[in-house]
Amino acid sequence: MSESEDRKPQRARPSLFLERQSYRRRRLMDAARLLPILGAALIALPLLWPNQTSPEDGVPLSSAMLYIFACWVLLIAVSLVFGFAARRMSARDDSEAESDRWLP
Amino acid sequence: MATLNVLILVCLGYVVLLFGVAFAADRMAAAGRGAWLRSPLIYTLSLSIYCTAWTFYGAVGNAARSGLEFVTIYLGPTLVMLSWWWGLRKLVRVGRSQRVTSIADLISSRYGKSNTLAICVTILAVLGGTPYIALQLQSITLSFSIFAEADPSGLYREGSSVFWVAAGLAMFAILFGTRNLDANERHHGVVTAIALESVVKLFALIAVGIFVVWGVAGGIGPMMERIDASEIGQWNVDAGRWTTFIFLSAAAFICLPRMFQVMVVENADEGHLRTAAWAFPLYLLLMSLFVVPIAVVGLDLLPEGSNPDLFVLTVPLSQGNDWLAMLSFIGGFSSATSMVIVTAMALSTMVSNHLVMPIWLSTQEGSGSVSGDVRNVVLVARRVSIAVIMAMGYYYYRLSGGGAALASIGLVAFAGISQILPALVGGLFWRGATRTGALVGLTVGFVLWIYTLLLPGMGGAIMPDTVLQNGPFGWGWLRPQALFGIEGMDPMVHTVMWSLSLNTFAFCAASLLSFPSPLERLQGAQFVNVFDHSVAPRGWSGSVAQSEDLMIMTQRILGAGPAQEFFQAEAHAQGGRTSLPEPTPGFLERLERELSGSVGAATAHAMIGQIVGGSSVSVEDLLAVADESAQMLEYSSQLEAKSAELSRTARQLREANTKLTQISEQKDSFLSQVSHELRTPMTSIRAFSEIMRDSDGLTPEEQTRYAAIIHDEALRLTRLLDDLLDLSVLESGRVNLNMSGESLSAVLDRAVSSALAGSRSTLTVRRARQSERIPLHTDLDRLGQVFINLISNAQKYCDAEDPVLTISAHDVGGQVVIDFTDNGSGIPPEAQSMVFEKFARVGGDKAGGAGLGLAICREIMQRLGGEITYLPGQGGAAFRVRLPMAYQQAAQ
């Protein structure tokens, strides 16, 4: 990068902001990193539910099951989307990713 | 119906099918076909060996006992898979770039290829794996017993059946897991067989689930109602256990040797993780989807007191659906077999690489010339270790009585193996993690795990009840299940909390306080920054390595064919014509990686170290290298100085040579001049003497004239020879000076009178006599000679009408300066530099001198410590004589 800068000082100055595409990809990676945290939060949520003290109050197991499995499906779906997006991006611009690392 | 014999037949048939699949897959991979063998789907399915017989049977049992708690075991790995981008990806990359063969190898490699650490992890893994294998034995035995109850022949006995199950599984694992040696080469066959097994067990469980929901309960709606109405129908989960188990299963998912084997070692492409990141959680979801329904229906239908761990089998059986029960049995069986195969493979690799091989190597004295076939040693070591591991599982089962619930045994194993987590995660993300830290952390965690969980779980025979109640030696704060007096915790939570937190603390503290070795730091950087540079550390210097020894050793480990192929390829790559490559660092590095695939990083390192001599990068090596380069620097500066000196000497020699050549030329020209000077008078002497001898009629006048000419020429010759002799005496420095004292004017008086005596010339000499009263102490005769010469020169060469020679003398700072200036036309500038040379004559031969006078003057003046120079620009010829007033010895 610095080489090209030396050669063409008038136009090779990197822009402060990323291209829209690269920006999207960065945020997608952020999302992928945050996903397990979201998952942990969702899974820990049932701990706030009241435990069974009498047969009448408390959360029925079927609802609990529905909640847990719904979260699970959601996480899988997000991961699936991310997997495909990452594959498409890495296939599209493998070379770009290299130079991209240097940008601010 | 489903008798025991049929069951055994089905098992054998299933095993034969697995072998067939594995064999076919290996053949396809060898033939280069079957790209699907390396597909993400196969990779994902192979990951499902996480679901063992424990999860197949035990999850339902767990659900029947404590509701949704079972799901934690699946949620932990789901979270790990979701964080593949910054977690597993790094692990897989490190494993591939370092050619890691097992988790022990990874830890050892990270912390400076330390074998001590590898041994620790191996022991931990074997001990942690033992309860797990016992678990598989128990589940298979239990499922057999279910069918045995229905078998009228009644031949079934539990004790012997456990033994035979263990022996059969050991045989199976040996046949399957140790067929090919290089653990780093992907086991396409095994992986494919495992993938098939994971399909079988998923299919079996879902089949049972569908049968339960739609066949027994009558649809989803009624099923939900049934769930809520059952005794586990309320959300009732202990928060501590919930979080602990999620964390524990996540940790175990990474640290379990068999998971590491399929996830890292068998990984063919990093990109597979992308698919596995969603596909494996999906698999886990499907595996757990029908667990609660089966548990609920089992609780409903089966009599009180029946084992909930076996609902998967007993529910279909109780409904008379024998074929479904058989399918379910095969599902459980395949869960157990796949787990045992991979665990045995992973553990035996670790044991043989980190325990047996180092010991065996150390008993083999001498360097590379190891006797025997290492291949055989490795294979035998692996087979024996599989047998030993299975035997340990068997004894654990017998000791624990086989009574405990499946899930709790599995969790014991999880807690044990998770002790690797701090060292592993620290090693991957923290460059400051050191070998000492890892060792201390592992030891602390390991000891706490044994003390608080493993021993209490094995019953009163090993740990007496008094210790459990009151602590060892009555120290209450050391009670195994209430450390530091904190009571009331679930034993599992208690162990995980204390062992992992103290493990992490010890790991961090020891890492902070210790100092890593250079190799550790190098490896640390390689691991933590693996994405920046995925290359192995360099380090071998092959200067002393012998390719032949390396070849012999490699043949023993890899086998003759592959070894020769590898060496040939390397030699070819180096461009050599022989079959043995040069032991370059690059070659040794690749060889080490190749070998580490078979015997582990530390052992391969040690083996090459034995042959190459000298370990990789030790401080001593670095110091030696530094010393060497310092020496080189010094040597080169010495060389530089010498070469400068040489060039100086050469220059001096060249100058001397030039001088010598000049002198030789001078000598030659001098000789030719001398001969010329001698020849001229000699010619006339000969000619006139011949005339006088041969001519008879010579008049007396003529005779007199001729004789006078001969006499004159003889005189001239004598004078010339005198001058030459004088000059040679002066030049050689052998002249004797007769020192005496007189005033300058007296010397000049004598010189003027002797120079002008008998001359017909009209030279007038002007002198300033008052300035000539300078006392002199020198060789006065020689000085007079100089003066006479100068005066007679003026007399001879001054071409003025009235020749006048002015002689003036001055005293300048202790030196006498005498100038002889005439009023002639002087000496032309181009001849001025030549006047003091020998045979130099200005203006032809009219004066009849030999041209030696001024040369002699110069020599005399040098001897007397003074000089004679020509003064240009004085109107005529001017010579300046300068000499010290008193002759000094030092001037000589």
Residue A8 C-alpha, separation from nearest chain B C-alpha, in angstroms: 28
CB spacing of A43 vs B81 below 8 angstroms:
no
B477 compared with B145, residue with greater pLDDT: B145
Alpha carbons B552 and B689: distance in angstroms, whole number: 105
Report pLDDT for B616.
Answer: 43
| H or E stretch covering B97 | helix B88-97
> What stretches of B695-778 show up as alpha helix (H) in DSSP?
700-732, 744-756
Q: Does residue A2 carry a pLDDT above 50?
A: no
Q: Residues B510-521: pLDDT tens digits?
A: 888 888 777 777
With an 8 Å Cβ cutoff, is A33 touching chain B?
yes
Residue B462 has a pLDDT of 64
Q: For chain B, say whether A52 makes contact (Cβ under 8 Å).
A: yes
Kind and range of the H or E run holding B381? helix B374-400
pLDDT of residue A53: 57
Q: Which of B283, B259, B416 is nearest to B347 (CA)?
A: B259
Q: Which pLDDT score is estimated for B349?
A: 81
pLDDT of residue B726: 83
Structural domains of chain B, ranges and CATH numbers in brackets? 4-358+377-434+516-528 (1.20.1730.10), 547-617 (no CATH), 621-726 (1.10.287.130), 739-891 (3.30.565.10)
CB within 8 Å: A76 and B224 = no
Supply the pLDDT for residue B392.
Answer: 86
**Best to test chain B binding among A29, A65, A101 (most B CBs inside 10 Å):** A65
Judge: A83–B274 Cβ closer than 8 Å, yes or no.
yes
Residue with tokens 């902001």: A17
Q: Which residues contact B99 (CB under 8 A, 6 or more apart)?
A: B184, B536, B593, B596, B597, B601
Find out whether B608 and B602 touch, Cβ atoms under 8 Å.
no
Give the nearest partner residue to A51 out of B236, B243, B289, using CB atoms: B236
A17 in B contact zone (CB under 8 Å): no
pLDDT at A101 exceeding the cut of 50? no
* pLDDT score recorded for residue B617: 47
- Identify the weakest region by mean pLDDT among A61-65, B367-371, B558-562, B630-634: B367-371
Nearest partner of B231 among B66, B405, B71, B404, judged by Cα? B66
Whether residue B650 is predicted with pLDDT greater than 90 in this model: the reply is yes
Residue of B nearest to A30 (CA): B85
d(CA B345, CA B14): 20
Kindly write down the DSSP assignment for every residue of B545-591, as one continuous string.
Answer: --HHHHHHHHHHHH-HHHHHHHHHHHHHHHT-SSSSPP--HHHHHHH
Kindly tell me if the per-residue pLDDT of B867 is higher than 80: yes
pLDDT tens digits along B109-120: 888 777 888 888
Domain residue ranges of chain A, discontinuous segments joined by +: 19-46+60-104
A60/B235 touch (CB, cutoff 8 Å), yes or no: yes
pLDDT at residue B646, rounded to an integer = 93
Which chain A residues contact residue B82 at CB under 8 A? 35-36, 39, 75, 79
pLDDT of residue B377: 75
Q: Average per-residue pLDDT in chain A? A: 69
pLDDT at A104 over 50: no
pLDDT band at B624 (very low <50, low <70, confident <90, very high): low
pTM for this entry: 0.63
User: Tokens 């022989």 appear where?
Assistant: B578
DSSP per residue, B454-470: IHHHT-TTTS-HHHHHH
Residue B460 has pLDDT above 50, yes or no: yes
Q: How confident is the model at residue A18 (pLDDT cuts 50, 70, 90)?
A: low
Q: How many residues does chain A have?
A: 104
Residue of B nearest to A82 (CA): B274
Contacts within 8 Å (CB) and 24+ apart, B476-482: B480/B451, B480/B452, B480/B455, B480/B456, B481/B452, B481/B456
Instruction: Confirm or reject contact between A26 and chain B (CB < 8 A).
Output: no
Which among B480-494, B627-641, B811-825 has the top mean pLDDT? B811-825
> Confidence class of residue B540 from pLDDT cuts 50, 70 and 90?
very low
* A contacts of B77 (beta carbons < 8 Å): none
Query: Please, which pLDDT band fits residue B665 given cuts at 50, 70 and 90?
Result: confident
In this structure, what token pair is assigned to residue B399? Answer: 């000791």
Pick B790 or B596 by higher pLDDT. Answer: B790
Closest CA to B223 of B235, B234, B233, B238: B233
Q: What is the per-residue DSSP string for B485-542?
A: G--S--HHHHHHHHHHHHHHHHHHHHHHHS---HHHHHHHHHHHTTTT---PPP---T
Find the mean pLDDT for residues B612-640. Answer: 62
| Chain A partners within 8 Å of B245 (Cβ) | none
CB contact under 8 A, B235 and A76: no
Residue type at B507 in one-letter notation: F
Mutate to test the interface with B, among A29, A73, A76, A87 (most CBs of B within 10 A): A76
The pLDDT, as a whole number, for residue B609 is: 66
Is the pLDDT higher at B344 or at A18? B344
Residue A34 at interface with chain B, using a CB cutoff of 8 Å: no
Query: Which candidate from A43, A58, A76 shows the least CB-CB separation from B282?
Result: A76
Interval B127-139: pLDDT, tens: 888 878 888 888 8
For the segment B390-418, the average pLDDT, to the nearest whole number, is 75
In this structure, how many other beta carbons lie within 10 angstroms of the beta carbon of residue B94? Answer: 22
Which residue out of A42, A45, A51, A62 would a mutagenesis test of the B interface target, given it has the greatest number of B Cβ atoms within 10 Å?
A62
What are the tokens at B779? Answer: 């060789």
Contact check, Cβ <8 Å, A72/B67: no
pLDDT of residue B653: 93
Judged against a pLDDT cut of 70, whether residue B186 lies above it is answered with no
The pLDDT value given to residue A91: 60
In single-letter form, the type of residue at position B702 comes to E
Q: For residues B242 and B155, which has the higher predicted lDDT (pLDDT)?
A: B242
On the question of pLDDT at B819 being above 50, the answer is: yes
Average pLDDT over residues B328-335: 86
Pick from B78, B239, B271: which is nearest to A72 by CB? B78
The answer on pLDDT for B696 being more than 60 is: yes
**pLDDT at position B649, please?**
92
Confidence band for B222, pLDDT divided at 50, 70 and 90: confident
ipTM of the complex as predicted: 0.76
The confidence score (pLDDT) of residue B654 equals 92
pLDDT of the residue at B337 = 82
- Per residue in B576-592, pLDDT tens? 666 677 667 677 777 77
What pLDDT is attached to residue B545? 46
Query: Tokens standing for B82?
Result: 């979701």
**For chain A, what is the largest distance between any 2 Cα atoms, rounded to a whole number of angstroms?**
79
CB contact under 8 Å between A79 and B281, yes or no, is yes
pLDDT higher than threshold 90 for residue B675: no
Q: Best residue in B236, B242, B270 to probe A by mutation, most A CBs within 10 Å? A: B236
Chain B residues whose C-beta sits inside 8 Å of any chain A C-beta: 67-68, 71, 75, 78-83, 85-86, 224-225, 227-228, 230, 232-237, 239, 242-243, 246, 271, 274-275, 277-278, 281-282, 285, 289, 292
- What would the mean pLDDT of B523-529 be, rounded to a whole number? 77
Average pLDDT (B77-105) is: 82
Q: Which residues of chain B have a CB within 8 Å of the CB of A68?
A: 68, 71
Rounded CA separation B562/B550 (Å): 14
Average pLDDT over residues B211-236: 79
Chain A nearest-CA residue for B79 = A36
A42 touches B: beta carbon within 8 Å: no
Nearest-CB residue to B277 (from A43, A51, A79): A79
For chain B, give the mean pLDDT: 78
Decide if B85 and A32 are in contact by the 8 Å CB cutoff: yes
- Quote the pLDDT of residue B651: 92
pLDDT band at B158 (very low <50, low <70, confident <90, very high): low
pLDDT in tens, B230-282: 777 777 777 788 888 888 888 888 888 888 888 887 777 777 888 888 888 99
Sort out which chain B residues have CB atoms less than 8 A from A39's CB and list them.
78-79, 82
Query: Who contacts B518 (Cβ-Cβ below 8 Å, separation ≥6)?
Result: B617, B618, B619, B622
